[in-house]
Amino acid sequence: EVQLVESGGGLVQPGGSLRLSCAASGFTFSYYAVNWVRQAPGKGLEWVSGISGSGGRTYYADSVKGRFSISRDNSKNTLYLQMNSLRAEDTAVYFCARQGYSSYWYIDSWGQGTLVTVSS
């Protein structure tokens, strides 16, 4: 069974930093691209970032480019999101999401999410 378990969320002040982790199990982690998708309170889904299976290619939404960094450690089956210069508008539940094994983008498995609150 595919499992994605996020951790690292919490309360942080504006301008601060936080690192999210996502522990994957139940599949060969290095075979799959993975993404971070967030959802602000009462709002819709917003894609944040994605990384290829090898980690060689990364992609970012314009809203986080230059502030967030995605990475992965395939030896530990873990995905990371380093978030710097956090703003109030970054407050959201952050989901770790596995991309389908296809040439075309879609998400086939989601974690339960971790809440990040940016407030003074």
Query: Which residues are at the interface with another protein (CB under 8 A)?
Result: 35, 37, 44-47, 50, 59-62, 95, 100, 102, 104-113
The nearest distance, CB 98 to another protein, in angstroms, is: 10
**CB atoms < 10 A from the CB of 75, how many?**
8
The nearest distance, CB 100 to another protein, in angstroms, is: 6
The nearest distance, CB 16 to another protein, in angstroms, is: 25
**Nearer to another protein by C-beta: 66 or 75?**
66
Nearest to 95 by CA among 72, 65, 116, 77: 116
**Nearer to another protein by C-beta: 86 or 111?**
111
**CB atoms < 10 A from the CB of 90, how many?**
22
If phi > 0 it is left, if psi is from -120 to 50 it is alpha, else beta; for residue 99 that is beta
